[in-house]
Amino acid sequence: MIKNKIKGLKMTPQRLAILAYLEGNIDHPSADDIYKAVLKKFPTMSFATVYNTLESLKNRGSVSELTIDPDKKRFDPNPDPHNHLICNKCRKILDIHIDYELRVPYEKKQGFEITGNHIKFYGICPKCRRGK
């Protein structure tokens, strides 16, 4: 899976470490989370490298950027279309893999060819509900 993500992207050990961290990651990390995690293995890693690698991956469609956390952008390496649950308190983001049959009536499409949708559900996660 990592291999499809790196087509045309020059691979350095740092970039590979970023890819390895993202592979199968379902925590929707921010650029800062990724930086901190990879820094443990690569103390010379710069935030700019993380940022630029994420930009390249994003431009290739290999990761998507989620803007559902108002505090920071989060990254999602899962290429399958899916929806999200976000905790209003701790900002944990979970995947929801349900295909909701949403239709925009023709007269509301305003000429758009619709290619996708994304539903965000807001709430309080079990941990926060228990008051941690």
Among 2, 6, 68, 128, binds Zn ion (CB under 5 A): 128
Least distance to Mn ion, CB of residue 120, Å: 11
Nearest to 73 by CA among 88, 54, 57: 54
Among 76, 77, 86, 87, binds Mn ion (CB under 5 A): 76
Q: Which stretch binds Mn ion (CB under 5 A): 29-37, 41-49, 75-83, 122-130?
A: 75-83
Nearest to 23 by CA among 45, 2, 50, 54: 2
126 half-sphere exposure, CB direction, 13 A CA radius: 1
Which residues between 91 and 130 bind Mn ion (CB under 5 A)?
Answer: 95
CA distance 72 to 62: 19
Q: Which stretch binds Zn ion (CB under 5 A): 4-12, 37-45, 69-77, 117-125?
A: 117-125
Residues 87, 125: contact at Cβ < 8 Å?
yes
6 φ, ψ (degrees, to nearest 5): -110, 5
Q: Which is nearer to Zn ion, 9 or 85 (CB)?
A: 85
Among 17, 45, 54, 87, binds Zn ion (CB under 5 A): 87
**Residues making contact with Zn ion (CB under 5 A):** 87, 89-90, 92, 125, 128
